[in-house]
Structure 1
Amino acid sequence: MRGPGAWWHGKTTTAKVETYTRWSFYSFALVEVSVVGLPVFGEVGMPLTLWVFLPLCGHALLGSVTSSRALDWTCGRRAQPVRLITALGVLTALLGIGALALTEHGPGGDGIDSTMGVLFIVVVPYGLGLMALGMSRRHVLALLSGFSAGTGATAFLVGMPAYRALATMAGVLLIGGFICLASLFSVWLLKAVLELDAARETRTRLAVAEERLRFGRDLHDVMGRNLAVIALKSELAVQLARRERPEAVEQMIEVQRIARESQKEVREVVRGYREVDLGVELLGAQGVLTAAGVECTVTGSAAELPTAVQSALGWVVREATTNVLRHGDAGHCRVSLRVKGARVVLTVENDGVERDSVPSTPSSKGSGLAGLRERLSAVDGTLEAGPVDGDLFRVVAEVPLPTTPTSSSSASGPPSTTPPPPSSSPSPAPRTVNEEVAP
């Protein structure tokens, strides 16, 4: 059962920043209606209330739509909403002019004067801030200057004293400038996060492309020489056949042998049965993840581990690295290699995993976690993988160290003079306990 915060925690960092930015500006509409619109009913008569409240609701709705389209333009999903910005500017100016006119020539009273003052000081700066979301900095500066100058001129024309007109103009300049600056900063922050996300995706693609190139180089190393020999021997067989020389048959037999060996080597490359150097894989995983923007730390050394153990764990490192790049939004990955008793334990742990993107059980045999379990089972190893502690995903592989039999104690010294206990059948000579190979 998904908790109440699953919707938020399921988003990536970029989506969280975008959602937070959007709803911050959507809340402007709620502030307008609750702080300015509702008090109008108690301060102004009913006919005038409707003439104030309905345009105010329209301004809040238009501001929300404009901010949504402006942020879509910032994210590169839509064209610049020029018409919406223009309509919002006109409606903001009309509401501001109406508020100033009602302050000077309205029904009168302290209540309506304060209500219209709040309406003006909220609607005009908020409108400027919402329009700034879809404009460049140079245009925002011109918009702010124009509204400030227009406010001073309108206040003077409706009959305000000069000092009040200047104070109103300064209020629009300061409050509107602050909200416009906040809007521009929000747009800059959102663009920076989007660019970082795009750069990280590009690095991930480059890391995957580098891995493909490495596989191509391995395949070229395996097949290049064999194909050259096949071509050379085939040409030689053709020349010998034209001369009716019996050696042509021997050359073609050799071509067949090399072709079969090439098929076997290709299968080994594709299926991953070639020996893998664990130390090289650890360094390669750290380099690939670092190039993809994931902080990777590697602890432990594989220098003295047996070849079979290195080969099995090397494929675990390679597959786990691929999963870190493909699933989730990892920021840190920790790879630990240690010897625990008679077993070698490899742990790969990363954060930023999306639980829905990583299946708990493999769906196809021979790939992913299923392929790793098959390879580890060949050396009596085990594999555990799954999400732990919130957004962490952990892969733990354990492989036993191979043992080498030693010669029996009777072969290392003189034969024992103590007679064996009587038994109905001869018992085999006692053997010493196998010694463990130290890593």
Structure 2
Amino acid sequence: MSRWTDWWHELSSAAKFRLSTRLTFQGSILGVVVVMLNSAGSLWSAPVIVVAGITAVLAVAAQDDFATVPGGVSRQWTPPLAAVTLLAMWAVSAAIARLATAESTVRDARVAGGLAALLAMFAVIPFIRHRWWVLLGLSLATGLAFGSSPLSALALAAVYLLTGVVVVGLTAFTVWGLRVVDELDRAKLVEAELQVAEERLRFARDLHDVVGRGFSAIAVKSELAVALSRSGDQERAVAEMEEVRELAVESMGQMRTLVRGYRNIDLRGEVAGARSLLSAVGCELVVEGDAAKVGPQFHEVAAWVVREGTTNIVEHSAATVATLALGSAGMSLRNDNPHGGTGERSGLRGLAERLAAVGATLDVTATGDEFILEIHWENK
């Protein structure tokens, strides 16, 4: 059972929506089959109805629009085979309805033929070109084939046409909804990737602005010192090299400051960044408590917990809600809809090492519905 629940939680929201939509369609087909089976009165009609129902269910499962994983391998021969099977069932039923003399046989033929037409409206017609013309032709043909009189044939055709319009229309609307969900899912991933790229560009820009000028000055003064040395002005050459040394030390200090500012992250800033990043992937961050309750000696490691925990949520879950709790004795970060267990996440190992260095501990709890990071420390 846990294997199935893990598989379900590992699916993205879009994949879950696709799967539930496909199962809804297949469930509707099975419902129609069950109703028609209750109306079957002869031994030959029940197996025919069951075969037609199974064929239609498989045809829906093979449609690319309802694939659980977009672009996955599907059996392309299934929809044409379903169309041929349902058409043959409809044609045989129409022939029996016209040629049979027993009333019970005629009634069963009408049930089987009507079911074939309905199943075609569910599993075949919505996914072909010129679907509306095909629907109109099938409705008129069904009315003429199974109507007992011109008036009843017209009424039967109208009923099938109205039913088909509703079914095909709902299917088209559902397919449109699936494509919108896919686009939103892709947009969330792209937005998260753009935020990471933007942060990298910011750091590269800061690095260039801070140390680029110093390195340029070092290069120029080094060339000048070489020229002075070759011309015999050793005193000025030595003075220029002293300035090069000072510039190098100054540039190294500026680089350390820049890297320290990038790595020694701020807790409040990380909370704000986590809220922005999680919002970009459709997850709401709820903050309980205040960063002021965290002791100063734990601020940096708490910020790393927020950063690593947020990264885990983005990469290893389809979370819709995450809760960050901050307190004087520790903190926690939990989210719903995790993808599987903890696995071998190097980020968590590194985080545990950071916490151990300041005397704090990390506890990880993973269930099918929730993933929890709990950190405990003692304020002194």
- Output the TM-score relative to the length of structure 1: 0.70
Alignment correspondent of 1:421:
none
Query: In structure 1, what is the Cα distance between the partners aligned to 2:182 and 2:282?
Result: 15
Alignment correspondent of 1:197:
185
1:351 to 327, 330, 336: 336
Alignment correspondent of 2:117:
124
Cα pair distance change 1:281/1:29, threshold 3 Å: closer
2:96 to 99, 102, 106: 102
Query: In structure 1, what is the Cα distance between the partners aligned to 2:58 and 2:179?
Result: 20
Q: Provide the secondary structure at the position in 1 that maps to 2:127.
A: coil
Q: Which amino acid counterpart does residue 17 of structure 1 have in structure 2?
A: F
Query: In structure 1, what is the Cα distance between the partners aligned to 2:106 and 2:345?
Result: 70
> Is residue 2:349 matched to residue 1:373?
no
Alignment deviations for residues 251-304 of structure 1 (CA, whole Å, 9 cap, x no partner): 335545654675677678779885333222222222222233221233444469
Tell me: higher relative CO, structure 1 or 2? Use CA pairs within 8 A at least 6 residues apart: 2
Query: In structure 1, what is the Cα distance between the partners aligned to 2:136 and 2:94?
Result: 19
Q: Is the 8 A contact 1:73 1:80 kept in 2?
A: no
Cα pair distance change 1:258/1:383, threshold 3 Å: farther
Q: Which amino acid counterpart does residue 346 of structure 1 have in structure 2?
A: M
1:325 to 314, 318, 325: 314
Q: Provide the secondary structure at the position in 2 that maps to 1:116.
A: helix
- Output the TM-score relative to the length of structure 2: 0.80
Query: In structure 2, what is the Cα distance between the partners aligned to 1:286 and 1:81?
Result: 43
Query: In structure 2, what is the Cα distance between the partners aligned to 1:335 and 1:2?
Result: 27
Query: In structure 2, what is the Cα distance between the partners aligned to 1:73 and 1:133?
Result: 12
Query: In structure 1, what is the Cα distance between the partners aligned to 2:123 and 2:179?
Result: 17
State the 1:108 CA deviation: 0.9
Across the aligned residues of Structure 1 and Structure 2, the Cα RMSD in angstroms comes to 4.0
Alignment correspondent of 1:334:
323
> Is residue 2:277 matched to residue 1:288?
yes
Q: Is the 8 A contact 2:274 2:307 kept in 1?
A: yes
Alignment correspondent of 1:149:
140
Q: Is the 8 A contact 1:124 1:176 kept in 2?
A: no
**Structure with greater Cα Rg:** 1
Q: Is the 8 A contact 1:277 1:314 kept in 2?
A: yes
Alignment correspondent of 2:264:
275
Query: In structure 2, what is the Cα distance between the partners aligned to 1:384 and 1:78?
Result: 39
Query: In structure 1, what is the Cα distance between the partners aligned to 2:306 and 2:217?
Result: 35
Alignment deviations for residues 165-221 of structure 1 (CA, whole Å, 9 cap, x no partner): 123212312333333234234323322322222222222222322333344345445
Query: In structure 2, what is the Cα distance between the partners aligned to 1:17 and 1:304?
Result: 41
Alignment correspondent of 1:208:
196
Q: Which runs of 5+ in 1 are unaligned?
A: 403-439
Q: Provide the secondary structure at the position in 2 that maps to 1:276.
A: coil
Query: In structure 2, what is the Cα distance between the partners aligned to 1:401 and 1:226?
Result: 42
Alignment correspondent of 2:20:
20
Greater per-residue helix proportion: 2
Q: Which runs of 5+ in 2 are unaligned?
A: none
Alignment deviations for residues 293-345 of structure 1 (CA, whole Å, 9 cap, x no partner): 2212334444697764433322222222222222111212222333x3xx5x3
